Amino acid sequence: MPPIKPIQTPGFGVGLSFKRKLNKNEDSEMTILSDVKALGQQIWLDNLSRSLVQSGELAKMLQQGVCGVTSNPAIFQKAFAGDALYAEEVAALKKQAISPKERYETLAIADVQAACDVCLPEFEASGGKKGFVSLEVAPNLSHNAAGTIEEAKRLHAAINRKNVMIKVPTTDEGIEALQQLVSDGLSINLTLLFSRKQTLKAYAAYVRGIQARLAAGKPVNNIQVVASFFISRIDNALDVTLPEALQGKVAISLAKAAYQDWQQFFSSTEFAELAKQGVNPVQLLWASTGVKNPAYSDTLYVDSLIGKNTVNTVPDATLKAFIDHGTAKPTLAENADEAQTVLAEAAKLGVDLETLATRLQNDGLKQFEEAFTKLLAPLE
């Protein structure tokens, strides 16, 4: 793909930044998260459990500026194993003549419904742009388009909340499913993206699904899609092979390039015509933003990726660190030329980012499958 020229993004103030450390008595809404929201980015929580909802902690996070929630099989596996609030219902479900997967879905759907209800005021106040909660289809469907479509529609109907997103891995089959699911009116969270090319394929599939829905005379303004681009796993895979000058820089540079791809795609005259009909652009979502290398700032993948019309989903520890000592500044559109230079230098050293993306996506699918197996075992 040829180098992409930086595009000026309306709404970014040069030098505009916020840095704030909370006092215990400071108003809960006056956090750095509100500053990020003002810069056009949503911060979502990458965690969900029964205790998180029932304790009121999730509601408190929404007051502080969190705008949504993501989950995955690994998150639910951890929640079921460590949260005592599930024990009684698990015992009751195991007495029923249903499969372990059906027991899991009973628990997970209830959690997602409860989280959707907590996030509903954010959804309504934003006109349906924020306040989403994601639930993923079973990992073993990642290469089964028809199976993904069937399960996504079934889960969507079972949850029965207007602010739910169904999470679909962005394999070729997942992209095929996306087109149909958007045509059917579902909001989708595309997950496990590491590739710019695959992300652009997903945008095109989204547009085809939207066009089919418009042709059928159905509403489109209620459909939201996010494309979850994974960050820290890229640096984690590459840093051991790179000179020190490039360590910790490739993932952020790749994200900046992906953002420029996004700007070009959704600022096109073709999409402008769709936008006139109420079509929403896909939003890039930065995932895997917890820092794995202790040599880096624990807010590196939040501070460096703040940009308009994006989302960053963060684990609890990263959220806490960012509120404590993060910086809110529109960094995503900055230093685009430098980002292209980093990617070019990596390529000169033999780094093939598309090959790496395929490997990391396969690794991620395997990790989710393993987590799903562990999740189901106690529900046998």
The answer to whether the beta carbons of residues 155 and 166 sit under 8 Å apart is yes
- Residue 39 CA to residue 364 CA, distance in Å, equals 31
Residue 34 DSSP SS3: helix
Distances (CA, A) of 199 to 5, 38, 42, 108, 358: 18, 26, 20, 28, 12
DSSP code for 210: H
| Residue whose structure tokens are 């479509």 | 149
The answer to whether the beta carbons of residues 18 and 328 sit under 8 Å apart is yes
Residue of 192, 133, 205, 165 whose CA lies nearest to 358: 192
Number of other residues whose CB lies within 10 A of the CB of residue 136: 28
Q: Which of 130, 167, 249, 329 is catalytic?
A: 167
Ramachandran category for residue 250: left, alpha or beta (phi over 0 → left; psi -120 to 50 → alpha): alpha
- Residue 337 CA to residue 345 CA, distance in Å, equals 12
Residue of 134, 198, 204 whose CA lies nearest to 171: 198
Q: Which two tokens stand for residue 321?
A: 């660190």
Beta carbons within 8 Å of 125's beta carbon, 6+ residues apart: 131
Q: Is 167 a catalytic residue?
A: yes
The answer to whether the beta carbons of residues 263 and 206 sit under 8 Å apart is no
Phi, psi of 357, deg, nearest 5: -60, -40
- Residue 140 CA to residue 364 CA, distance in Å, equals 12
Q: Which two tokens stand for residue 370?
A: 């393993």
> What amino acid positions are annotated as catalytic residues?
167
